[in-house]
Structure 1
């Protein structure tokens, strides 16, 4: 039971993180800004 709860919580947190990253990238005003943001995110993984 605990394992199922942990996996469901992990999936929920992963989806939230993906949504946050998508919103951050979508807020870029041009390609240069988008590429800068993508490089910044790659460095944080």
Structure 2
């Protein structure tokens, strides 16, 4: 039961991170901004 809970919690966290990344990229004003934000994510992780 505990393993199931941890698995579901992990999935929830992954979805939340994916949504946060999507929202951050969606705020870009143009393609160059999207690319810059993608590089920032790759370089620094989720520090936005």
Normalised by the length of structure 1, the TM-score is: 0.93
Q: CA RMSD in A?
A: 0.8
Consecutive unaligned residues in structure 2, runs of 5 or more? none
* Runs of 4+ more than 2 Å apart: none
Q: Give me the whole-angstrom Cα distance separating, in 1, the residues matched to 2:39 and 2:13.
A: 23
How many residues are paired up?
45
Consecutive unaligned residues in structure 1, runs of 5 or more? none
Number of the residue aligned with 1:3: 3
Residue 40 of structure 1: how far off its partner (Å): 0.4
Q: Deviations over 1:2-45 (max 9, x none)?
A: 00000000000100000000000010001111100000001134
User: Which structure's residues are more often helix, by fraction?
Assistant: 1
